[in-house]
């Protein structure tokens, strides 16, 4: 309902990005997005519970390393110490 009110007759354009844990995030995220796009939340019912999703240690380490790198770069640009 919200999508129709906001977009009117416009169609969806879904674009993927990068920089996330591909095996942990992509299947779940795109299932949720697709279910929303076709207005069928039942299609994602089994993956729509975030409490059941625990990233693997390797994925957590990759995300944290990337976050630290981005924060360092952001801090340099804006002269902020993120610790």
Q: What percentage of the chain carries pLDDT values higher than 70? A: 64
pTM for this entry: 0.43
Tell me, what's the pLDDT at 44? 87
Q: What is the dihedral of CA 31, 59, 19, 66, to 10 degrees?
A: 150
Residue 2, pLDDT above cutoff 50: no
Distance CA 41, CA 35 (A): 5
Both tokens of 35, joined, read: 């279910």
Tell me, what's the pLDDT at 7? 56
> pLDDT tens across 36-75, in order?
888 888 988 888 676 766 777 887 888 889 888 988 998 8
Tell me, what's the pLDDT at 1? 42
């Amino acid at each position: 309902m919200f999508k129709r009110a906001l977009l009117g007759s416009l169609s969806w354009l879904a674009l993927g990005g990068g920089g996330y844990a591909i095996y942990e995030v992509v299947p779940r995220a795109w299932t949720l997005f697709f279910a929303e796009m076709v207005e069928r939340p039942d299609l994602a019912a089994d993956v729509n519970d975030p409490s059941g999703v625990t990233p693997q240690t390797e994925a957590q380490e990759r995300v944290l390393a990337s976050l630290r790198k981005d924060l360092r770069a952001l801090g340099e640009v804006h002269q902020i110490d993120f610790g």
